[in-house]
Amino acid sequence: MLFTSFVPVAALLAVRVLAGMTKTGTLCTVTPSGSSDDSGYIMDAFKQCGQNGQIDIVEGDYTIAKVMDVLNLKNCDISIRGKLTWTTDVNYWTRNSIGVTYSQRSTAFRLGGDTFSVRGYGKALFFGNGQTWYDVNKNGSNMAGRPISLTLWKAQNVLIDGITWRQPQFWHTFVAYSNNITMTNLDMSAISNSQWNTVNTDGFDSWNSKDIVLKNWTVTCGDDCISIKGNSSNVHVKNVTCTESGAAVIGSLGNPTNVPDYVDNILFEDFTAIHSSNAAWIKTYPGQGHVKNVTFRNFKFQDVNQPIYISPCIYSYTNCDASRLKISDITWENITGTSRYNVAAGIYCSKSTPCTGLKFKGIDIKPKDGGSAKVLCSNMNADSGLACTGTCPAGWVQQLKVFSKIFILALGAGTLGVQAQLIGGGSWNPDVDQALHDALDTAMPSIPAPSIDPADAAAAWSAYRAYTEAMAARSSSNAAPSATSSGAAPLITAQPTLPSGAPTTFQTAVRPTGKSSGEADPTPTSPACPAKDVKKLITGIANAIASGDNEELQEKIHKTLSHFKNLVSQDGLEDKVKELISKIPSSLPKKVVKKYLGKLANVLSSDVGGEELQTELSKLESIFSALE
């Protein structure tokens, strides 16, 4: 017998039930389906209740396997109390993530419209499965299709509140073409547990947007904490704690150079920065536009690489003085803390467009190891209130980065292959660079502790000075200055005390270690170590640092050094290399410079030695001389 049941039409109109989503009047309630993808149910809720309605994503675990793009929200209140986990299907996301125009970025979740709120009540968790992306990306900068976690796009009159992020795929949040945006009580964290770093996991980025309030944020991301990009105005950021991040930044701006970027009326206040790369800074390319009326107020920090800086040529030594991007009316007020290096501020402004209206009040920055900090200034107004102690080199930020990498330089043949990218203008990953600096920092103050070979520290110091000279030569159109010339002196000037008789030259100091004094050098197990192996070994050092195991760290340092042979120890090699580098004109385009440095790196990392090496270097000398 066939049985049927009768459901009143009124009930059908009042309640619409789908698997995972229930609609009652103007309220859509989403519950976990237990399936491999809940995004369809969430999208159906947006469709049914996104205009003049309410959406409630209740507690539970949700799987997000497809992009979510909702641009027509209107008078809608969205509550999220569950955990949203994005899948690890890299092939899907790289093919389908939603383009957001800026630098070919894309996003997994985009919201737009007029007058809506997204509240997490401290329970919402966006889990991006970022480790998969960090490992696939392998420390790259801009992997195509790697999606931003949440984007507000052409949105106005919006509140985002009470959401937690863990392991985002890329940037945590991006606001573009939007206005009147308030984002409060947000907690963000991106930490890699593998050899690969997070890279480009910014907490917040704005672009082509205005009237924004950010308040009560906690961010650990390994990249920019709060970044205000081009054509942003009227932004107030308050009560933010940034750990191992870039704190408060304007930029990057001015790229591409033919498209003006404007930033106006920005207030950062009540910031705390801990073990961060920067505190309060402005970074631009040599482009067009302006940065005007920006205030950094009430900053407290500890162990920050570069507390205050301005650079018109970020990631490069070239065209610093060609920038037409005007920086004016910038105030730093009540900025206190400790710096990792002995530089409190580095202000380098373009000669063609000097900075004006810079003001400094209540600046108290000291090196973490004591003493006084340098304040380096170039091409800025003299009435700023900042007591400058020296001239800021055009590439001073890069000099600090070089110092953090000099452990690589001390390793020997093949290392210039690693450094060629930096010389030509590479990107900087604060996590890796900081780890490398810490490795050296651990070794050098320990001299003459028996666990560290003094020769290695001496070599690192020698390499640093040589490299700084080369950089100064490349950034100047005049004859190469010495390391003690104005504006070219190394920023770290105090070499640790070494035992008498310790080697001080690059070619004689770097040698296999891990042996007691008086022992013969061990037989090399390989010739020169290729650049790719250098990177691999350095990763081991970085991991040891992260583990906090000092004994393991020392073992890694010695293991790394032992992979190199006695190094091409011919007399005069160091001087020859420095001379060759100085012959490459600074006026050459960056890609050409990288090409010629690559030639030099290839020779030094090859198996040739003795007279054959000298012959190869002589060939290069004739090529480089022809460039002059």
- Domain spans of the chain, in order of start: 30-213, 224-392, 400-627
Task: Give the pLDDT band of residue 211 (cuts 50, 70, 90).
Answer: very high
pLDDT of residue 490: 33
Q: What is the β-pairing status of strands 15-18 and 21-24?
A: antiparallel
pLDDT exceeds cutoff 70 at 90:
yes
Residue 593: the pLDDT is 56
Q: Which residues contact 618 (CB under 8 A, 6 or more apart)?
A: none
Least confident range of 60-64, 375-379, 592-596 = 592-596
For the chain, the residue count is 628
146-166: buried (b, 16+ CB within 10 Å) or exposed (e) per residue? bbbbbbbbbbbbbbbbbbbbb
What's the mean pLDDT in 63-77?
A: 98
Per-residue pLDDT, averaged over 446-468, amounts to 41
- Over pLDDT 90: what percentage of the chain? 50
Confidence of residue 230 (pLDDT cuts 50, 70, 90): very high
Can 30-213 and 224-392 be said to share one CATH topology?
Answer: yes
Q: What is the CATH number of domain 224-392?
A: 2.160.20.10
For residues 514 and 128, give the distance between their C-alpha atoms in angstroms, rounded to a whole number: 43
| CATH 3.30.70.260, domain 30-213, yes or no | no
Give 628 or 378, the one with higher predicted confidence: 378
Q: Furthest-apart CA pair in the chain: how many Å?
A: 105
The region of weakest confidence among 142-151, 324-333, 490-499, 609-618 is 490-499
The first and second tokens of residue 477, run together, are 């159109």
Q: Say what the pLDDT of residue 360 is.
A: 98
Helix or strand or coil: residue 117?
strand
The pLDDT of residue 487 is 33
Kindly indicate the confidence band of residue 399, based on its pLDDT and cuts at 50, 70 and 90: low
Give the pLDDT score at 617: 66
Cis peptide before 256 (omega within 30 of 0): yes
Average pLDDT, stretch 73-101? Answer: 98
**219: closest CA among 274, 301, 278, 157?**
274
- Give DSSP secondary structure letters for 261-329: EEEEEEEEEEEEEES-SEEEEEEE-S-EEEEEEEEEEEEEEEEESEEEEEESSTT-SSSGGG-EEEEEE
pLDDT at residue 471 greater than cutoff 70: no
- pLDDT at residue 320, rounded to an integer: 84
Tokens representing 207 are: 């672009």
Q: What does the pLDDT average to over 16-23?
A: 71
Task: Give every strand in the sheet of 98-99, ordered side by side.
Answer: 98-99, 106-107, 147-148
> Is pLDDT of 495 > 60?
no
- pLDDT tens digit string along 445-455? 332 222 334 44
Whether residue 210 contacts residue 240, with contact meaning beta carbons closer than 8 Å, is answered with no
Task: Indicate the DSSP class of residue 104.
Answer: G
Answer with the residue of higher pLDDT: 511 or 68: 68
The mean pLDDT of 389-417, rounded to a whole number, is 51
Among the residue ranges 149-163, 222-236, 432-446, the one predicted with the least confidence is 432-446
Q: What is the pLDDT of residue 476?
A: 43
Please compute the mean of the pLDDT values over residues 473-488 and round it to a whole number.
33
d(CA 626, CA 356): 42
pLDDT above 70 as % of the chain: 59
Global pTM exceeds 0.75:
no
Count of other CB atoms within 10 angstroms of residue 525: 10
**Residue 157 pLDDT:** 98
**Alpha-carbon span 256 to 259, nearest angstrom:** 6
The Cβ-side half-sphere exposure at 384, using a 13 Å CA radius, reads 27
Instruction: Give 549's pLDDT tier (boundaries 50, 70, 90).
Output: very low
Q: 225 and 244 in contact (C-beta within 8 Å)?
A: no
Q: Within its chain, how far is the Cα of 133 from the centroid?
A: 16
Whole-number pLDDT of residue 553: 45
**What's the confidence (pLDDT) of residue 7?**
39
- State residue 95's pLDDT score: 96
Q: Is the pLDDT of residue 86 over 70?
A: yes
In the prediction, which pLDDT does 550 show?
46
Structure token digits, residue 77: 């209140």
pLDDT band at 540 (very low <50, low <70, confident <90, very high): very low
pLDDT at 578: 52
Q: How confident is the model at residue 472 (pLDDT cuts 50, 70, 90)?
A: very low
212 and 174 Cβ atoms separated by less than 8 Å: no
Among 36-45, 375-384, 396-405, the minimum mean pLDDT is found in 396-405
Flag whether pLDDT at 400 surpasses 70. no
Most confident of 507-516, 564-573, 619-628: 619-628
**Among candidate residues 489, 450, 455, the one with its CA nearest the CA of residue 472:** 489
Residue-averaged pLDDT of the chain: 74
Mean pLDDT of 87-106: 96
Q: How much is the average pLDDT of 304-318?
A: 83
Q: CB atoms < 10 A from the CB of 182, how many?
A: 16
Please check whether residue 509 is in contact with residue 459, taking contact to mean a CB–CB distance below 8 angstroms. yes
Give the model's pLDDT for residue 305.
85
- Per-residue exposure over 256-283, b if at least 16 CB sit within 10 Å of its own CB, e if not: ebeeebbbbbbbbbbbbbbbbbbbbbbb
Res. 3: pLDDT tops 50: no
pLDDT at 40: 97
Q: How far apart are CA 293 and CA 234, in angstroms?
A: 10
Instruction: Find, among 586, 580, 563, the residue nearest to 617 by Cα.
Output: 580
Give the pLDDT score at 467.
Answer: 44
